[in-house]
Chains A and B, each alone.
Chain A
Amino acid sequence: MTLRDKLDAQRDRSAVNPVWRATYEATVAELRRTGFLDQALRAGARFPDFLLPSAAERLVSLGDLLARGPLVVTFIRGQWCPYCALTLAALEESLPDIQAAGGRLAAITPETGGRALAVTQRHGLHYDVLVDVDSGVGLSCGVVFHVPEPYRSSIARAGIDLADRQGNGGGLLPVPAVYVIDRAGLIACDFMDVDFTRRPEPADVIEALRALG
């Protein structure tokens, strides 16, 4: 079963609820309308340097992660997002192949308060989950957006308090972009879709890594 199959199955389950479905479709349509992805960092650009705390309570820089080879980095929306959970687990399964291709893997979450450690433990991850406190890296990459209505209310009704989870009242989420970054810090390849239920297949990410040689 590919990641895509699992994501599709999850979306089908969620879409049984007509309110969820309408909200989801409106959100994706709104992000498409505002031309959101034209603004994000894409292949060829330099990935912004960072120094972020990890689930293991270390401060990790982009340079640390690129020290031995290229890097695959995925933005995730949070512990509460089932599509992110499926993606994190799929990437964990692919970790040996990513490493065999000479790459390293990291996830970036906007959630504070130990939630990076919680997802690491829950999915048994063997890669860094970094905390983008106040979404500075997400902003530098142009992948964060202000959550539009009615999605904002729908998240809140589900008991997901973004302000509490992220430790700020910005009301922002990242598009779950995946970047392949070469050793020099340049983005070699990007995968992004404003539809948060669509993520790249790990095999495609590994293919992009291998292309770096």
Chain B
Amino acid sequence: MELHQVRYFLALCRTLNFTRAAEACNVTQPALTRAIQRLEDELGGPLLYRERSLTQLTPLGRSMMPHLETMVRAAETVSQAAADMRRQTPLLRLGLVDGLSAGLIAASLAELERRFPGLELHLQSDDQTMLIESLLQGETDAALLVDDGNLPERLDRWKLLHEGCRAVFPQGHAFEAEPCVKLPALATETVVRGDGWGGEWDRFGCETQRLRAASWDQAQHMVAVGLGVALLPRHVAVLPGLLARPVPEAGDMRAVVLAAVNGRMYSPPLDGFLKLNRAKDFTAATAA
């Protein structure tokens, strides 16, 4: 397929009118019609119902539209890059869901700085709800979120990694001697639990009722003074003085996705950030 065919199709999706779509694309209507027919031939069926007074997308047209939109954006971002960069200081605002270490994306930030010198780079951490709100309001360009099955439709999301579990404990704890923590060893521990996490550890015999925290940070401070241990997702940054060991048998604690609002044009740095991180394999980082 060709870029111009796809552009014509997207113009038709917006206008639902061959004459207006042709005008918008600055081509003759027969040229637009021919291009659409070739695209339909390749995609294996009509994309639009052509009726005298009403043009409508077919189910095939509707199902292909978002994918073709994504491709055109990927094709066009680069050509607009130069112009955009001259017009304004580039700004990239990124969010990380609470507790997720910026170490995950640090390498991509260094590469963006090399590629877009002078880039204004704003990082923020917040809870999932606030970050989603901020994305939808256009105050955050992209965020690393937890896929809890409730992400809004308007967010495009790409899976990055499944985070395993680490036990966090003070120095001198018996866990220190082993490369990883086995479930039987956990059974005698008191585990700090929080809202929506940690309660499930009682199935391994842990005491999970007594110590309760509202954030990863609070949980770790309780651990630091010897109240118990915390079981945290792999990429939650560990407080100084505390140690962490993986708990492989505990399975995955959460799925981390990269998210951005669909339908918006990406700035070149945002496009670069998303592409760099989508191109990469995060599972190695997870195993570490």
Contact = CB atoms under 8 A, between A and B. Distances in A.
Interface stretch (A18-26, A136-144, A195-203): A136-144
B85 to A, nearest CB: 11
Nearest to A64: B115
A35 to B, nearest CB: 8
A39 interface: yes
Given A135-B71, A135-B74, A139-B75, A57 B276 contact: yes
A169 B67 contact: yes
A34 B74 contact: no
A51 B44 contact: no
A170 interface: yes
B62 to A, nearest CB: 13
A146 B43 contact: yes
Given A133-B275, A142-B2, A170-B67, A34 B281 contact: no
A91 interface: no
A198 B236 CA distance: 49
Nearest to B272: A59
Contacts of A57: 107-108, 111, 276, 279-280
Given A58-B111, A117-B281, A135-B74, A140 B275 contact: no
Give the interface SS of chain B, mostly helix, strand, loop or mixed: helix
A137 B71 CA distance: 9
Given A142-B2, A146-B43, A51 B272 contact: yes
A113 B78 contact: no
Nearest to B41: A34
Given A52-B275, A57-B111, A131-B279, A170 B78 contact: no
B42 A133 contact: no
Contacts of B76: 136
B1 A50 contact: no
B211 interface: no
B90 to A, nearest CB: 13
Contacts of B1: 39, 139, 142, 144-146
Interface in A170-187: 170-172
Contacts of A170: 67-68, 70-71
A113 B70 CA distance: 18
B77 A136 contact: yes
B32 to A, nearest CB: 15
Interface in B61-88: 64, 66-68, 70-79, 81
B67 A171 contact: yes
A53 interface: yes
A131 B275 CA distance: 8
A34 B44 CA distance: 10
A36 interface: yes
Nearest to A129: B279
Interface in A36-66: 36, 39, 48-54, 57-59, 61
Interface residues of B, number: 44
A54 B280 CA distance: 9
Contact of B74 (A36, A49, A113, A133): A133
Contact of A167 (B158, B268, B281): B158
A140 B3 contact: yes
Interface string B31-71: 00000001001111000000000000000000010111011
A172 B76 CA distance: 18
Contacts of B2: 39, 139, 142
A82 interface: no
Contacts of B158: 112, 167
A149 interface: yes
A139 B74 contact: yes
A92 interface: no
Nearest to B79: A49
Given A57-B108, A114-B280, A145 B67 contact: no
A53 B77 CA distance: 14
29 contacts: A39-B2, A48-B75, A49-B79, A51-B271, A51-B275, A53-B272, A53-B275, A115-B281, A117-B280, A117-B281, A131-B275, A131-B278, A133-B275, A133-B278, A133-B279, A135-B71, A136-B73, A136-B74, A139-B2, A139-B72, A139-B75, A140-B75, A142-B2, A146-B1, A148-B44, A168-B70, A169-B66, A170-B70, A170-B71
The 5 closest A-B pairs by CB, nearest first: A114-B281, A136-B74, A136-B75, A134-B74, A170-B67
